Amino acid sequence: MGEVKNIAKDAIEAKTVEGVAGLEADKYKYGFESDIEQEFAPKGLNEDIVRFISEKKNEPDWMLKWRLDAYARWLTMEEPTWAMVDYPKIDYQDAYYYAAPKSDKDGPKSLDEVDPDLLEVYKKLGIPLKEQEVLAGVQGAPRVAVDAVFDSVSVVTTFKEELAKVGVIFCPLSEAVQKHPELVKKYLGTVVPPTDNYFATLNTAVFSEGSFVYIPPGVRCPMELSTYFRMNAQGTGQFERTLIIADKGSYVSYLEGCTAPMRDENQLHAAVVELIVLEDAEIKYSTVQNWWPGDAEGKGGVYNFVTKRADCRGKNSKVSWTQVETGSAITWKYPSCVLRGDGSSGEFYSIAITNGFQQADTGTKMIHLGKNTKSRIISKGISAGKSNQTYRGLVSAHKKATGARNFTQCDSLLIGDQCGAHTVPYIETNTPSAQFEHEATTSKLSDEQLFYCRQRGLSEEDAVALLVNGFCRDVLQKLPMEFAVEAQKLVAISLEGSVG
């Protein structure tokens, strides 16, 4: 059995290397723009824009008020500067805060009604819209429900019926506001409050789309839920807001994947993801992020300022964050776990790759509040080119968190001699019974290893991809199958041209 699995995996890995070899022509495969008509809000940010977004979404008053309060608060806040990233000042008045595909107005009922240009974009991206297969009568297609976010409005939401059978709600957040206001009201902003931080507050004011997931008590979500984000309009900031609630004893695995077209302007992205995990429930959240990192001179590229946090509210609740971060010019991201319930556990598995002039300051926070809470952090950072990367992590134990345990492992791999890797672990404990372990290594991709691979017939780039995939293996294995292949491809694509 194990062998069969290995063959399958080997086959996929081999296929990956082949696939990557075919992509040499264009380093950033997804660097095109489709020209679907956009309905913009005027450029700039003010109270009217916030009202415009709320109105477009047909939101109730409480929601508008929530946004306006956040906006007022944001005006008094200052952009944080503690991260080890350096970028020109962002002109918040020089961006659009709302853009939606025009053809969405009437709301497509099926793929046939979806703008063909849009489907073409997904086709170019190679996004497996599994529903296409299902609609075409393809037998045995894996069930992946896709709530595809195209710029700011969810265009296709699939498998709703099947999910509805077991009571799972998976829909755009704006729809949830209309249809399930009680759930949204109860949970939205309770993990990442509107006052949390500069970017989260901005998001609260202007978020335009995102996903909403609710898993009822005792339900194991019958499929992996996935959302592909893709920024498509010139200068459109993305302010996604995702809210996932796993009720008592439930389980869900959620996949988030991102690609963006090539452009000159910097794009601001400030998403918020809130996970709420009740007693004995589990959420597995996986991300593959490959937004435009900027050109060879380091110009352009996405600014990715994300706030992701999970709240383990019940006993024995469990969260696991897995991320593969290869894109963006600037990454500022710390998916965190608040381990409130006794016996709850949090995991963070991360691969971050920076090349060219990319800068990433990323890590996690494990906040142990409950008794016998456990956390595990495995971080693999790969720096190449002239990039700079920082792992920044906090592990803390409250005085009531007796028996808290953490294991942290941070490995950095350097490719070339012009990049940087930094590890900044913060460890705080207020209980003597907590056991925190931290291990860190830094290594360089060796010329000897590269030569060994090349002597066996691998090209230099394939050799780098193989060695780096090996370095990341512990984390890649944590990804759902659907993502593992894509992630391995990304690892290879991201590091093209990093050696020699």
Partner 1 sequence: MIKIKNLTATVNDGQQTILNGLSLEVPAGEVHAIMGPNGAGKSTLSYVLTGKDGYDVTDGSVDYLGQDLLAMEPEERAAAGMFLSFQYPLEIPGVPTMHFLRTALNAQRTARGEENMAAPEFLKKARQIATDLKIKPDMLKRSLNVGFSGGEKKRMEIFQMMMLEPKFIIMDETDSGLDVDALRIVADGVNALRAPDRGMLVITHYQRLLDYIVPDRVHVLADGKIVASGDADFAKLLEKEGYDKYAA
Interaction site with partner 1 (CB under 8 A)? 6-7, 9-11, 13-14, 17-18, 21, 446-449, 451-460, 462, 466-467, 469-474
Task: Tell me whether residue 12 or residue 134 sits nearer to partner 1 (CB atom).
Answer: 12
Nearest-approach distance from CB 462 to partner 1, in angstroms? 6
Task: Tell me whether residue 69 or residue 460 sits nearer to partner 1 (CB atom).
Answer: 460
Nearest-approach distance from CB 489 to partner 1, in angstroms? 14
Task: Tell me whether residue 43 or residue 473 sits nearer to partner 1 (CB atom).
Answer: 473
Task: Tell me whether residue 16 or residue 362 sits nearer to partner 1 (CB atom).
Answer: 16
Task: Tell me whether residue 32 or residue 452 sits nearer to partner 1 (CB atom).
Answer: 452
Secondary structure in 3-state letters for the chain:
CHHHHHHHHHHHHHHHHHHHHCCCCCCCCCCCCCCCCEEECCCCCCHHHHHHHHHHCCCCHHHHHHHHHHHHHHHCCCCCCCCCCCCCCCCHHHCECCEEEHHHCCCCCCHHHCCHHHHHHHHHHCCCCHHHHHHCCCCCCCCEEEEEEECCEEEEECCHHHHHHCCCEEEEHHHHHHHCHHHHHHHCCCCCCCCCCHHHHHHHHHCCECEEEEECCCCECCCEEEEEEECCCCCECECEEEEEEECCCCEEEEEEEEECCCCCCCEEECCEEEEEECCCCEEEEEEEEECCCCCCCCCCCEEEEEEEEEEECCCCCEEEEEEEECCCCEEEECCEEEECCCCCEEEEEEEEEECCCCEEEECCEEEECCCCCEEEEEEEEEECCCCEEEEEEEEEECCCCCCCEEEEEEEEEECCCCCEEEEEEEEEECCCCCEEEEEEEEEECCHHHHHHHHHCCCCHHHHHHHHHHHHCHHHHCCCCHHHHHHHHHHHHHHCCCCCC
Nearest-approach distance from CB 11 to partner 1, in angstroms? 6
Task: Tell me whether residue 2 or residue 432 sits nearer to partner 1 (CB atom).
Answer: 2
Nearest-approach distance from CB 476 to partner 1, in angstroms? 9
Nearest-approach distance from CB 468 to partner 1, in angstroms? 9
Task: Tell me whether residue 401 or residue 468 sits nearer to partner 1 (CB atom).
Answer: 468
Nearest-approach distance from CB 349 to partner 1, in angstroms? 14
Nearest-approach distance from CB 363 to partner 1, in angstroms? 22
Task: Tell me whether residue 87 or residue 452 sits nearer to partner 1 (CB atom).
Answer: 452
Nearest-approach distance from CB 474 to partner 1, in angstroms? 7
